[in-house]
Amino acid sequence: DADVTQTPRNRITKTGKRIMLECSQTKGHDRMYWYRQDPGLGLRLIYYSFDVKDINKGEISDGYSVSRQAQAKFSLSLESAIPNQTALYFCATSDRRAQETQYFGPGTRLLVL
């Protein structure tokens, strides 16, 4: 079984809709991250969380919110989706004792029409 899972894997939605992307991990890591990837831009950090009570904005948090429901779960919400949020979204985890090596989920492809 995968250590980091994301649901859904693919999603098509319409402008203005609310959508939630979910991430779960079985690695026991305390740190979790949400990134988006766009062609030519690399991975950009949206939000990160170092434990259940710690949530931090990343480089591009506008238009997104997150919830850390438990150590193993970290959800990303788009309150009102817009077309330029069309991207590949990755969740990642890391262990603070391991030089910040990050382990990624398989990604969610989101298309906002």
Name which position in 21, 25, 34, 48 contacts another protein (CB under 8 A). Answer: 48
Least distance to another protein from the beta carbon of 94, Å? 9
Which is nearer to another protein, 3 or 17 (by Cβ)? 3
What is the rounded distance in angstroms from the CA atom of residue 68 to the CA atom of residue 23? 10
Question: Three-class SS of residue 6?
Answer: strand
Q: Is residue 24 a contact partner of residue 109, using CB atoms and an 8 Å limit?
A: no
Q: Residue 33's beta-bridge partner residues? A: 48, 92
Contact stretch for another protein (CB under 8 A) within 11-19, 22-30, 68-76, 95-103: 95-103
According to CB under 8 A, which residues from 13 to 42 bind another protein? 35, 40-42
Question: Three-class SS of residue 57?
Answer: strand
If one asks whether residue 99 binds another protein (CB under 8 A), the answer comes out as yes
Name which position in 15, 56, 69, 80 contacts another protein (CB under 8 A). Answer: 56
* Direct distance between the N- and C-terminal alpha carbons of the chain, in angstroms, rounded to an integer: 33
If one asks whether residue 10 binds another protein (CB under 8 A), the answer comes out as no
